Amino acid sequence: MPRDPDDDALRWDGDDDPTLAPGWKTVGNPAPLAGSDDEVTDAPAEASGGEAGAAASDTDVTGAAQTGSVELVVLGVLGGVYLLYTVGWLITALRTTAPGLGVVDDAMYALGLWLAVLAPALWLGLSFWLSARRRSRLLWLIGGAIVLVPVPFVLGVTA
């Protein structure tokens, strides 16, 4: 059967080249992804020679699991809450004047206000940096959402 010249536009010379990137097939569906059981558990077990390699590959697969949809939504909502907290503390810091007790007292009061503006962003960043496990990270973020509420803004003290 003669080849149609229009089909040449759908393929490249060398599609059947064995040096293509691993995980890609030249025709049809792609090969199994790196996280699938077929490819990940077989290759390290053969390379290390036995069950030790299979056990190591199982821990790699479970350690590199993807973030679920619900967790992404929760992280997005908490990130938005922290952004709102930062804005609330910023408005509080801009509207509030120092009590005028002395130079050092006023400087410390202003420093405390500006540290309160930075606190939600620092808490969010440190909770991702320091918490390796998902559950502890979410607990730290929920705890921060409770602790870092901009109370002066919420109560209207700065108005």
For the purposes of burial, counting CB atoms within 10 Å of the CB of 44, is it exposed (0-12), middle (13-18) or buried (19 or more)? middle
Query: What's the rounded Cα separation, in Å, for the pair 70 and 82?
Result: 18
DSSP label of 27: S
- pLDDT tens readout for residues 73-106: 999 999 999 999 999 999 988 888 878 788 998 8
Same domain, 75 and 54: no
pTM of the predicted structure, to 2 decimals = 0.55
- What parts of the chain have a pLDDT lower than 70? 1-3, 5, 8, 11-65, 158-159
The residue range of the domain holding 35 is 5-63
Same domain, 79 and 49: no
End-to-end, the C-alpha distance of the chain in Å comes to 83
Same domain, 55 and 78: no
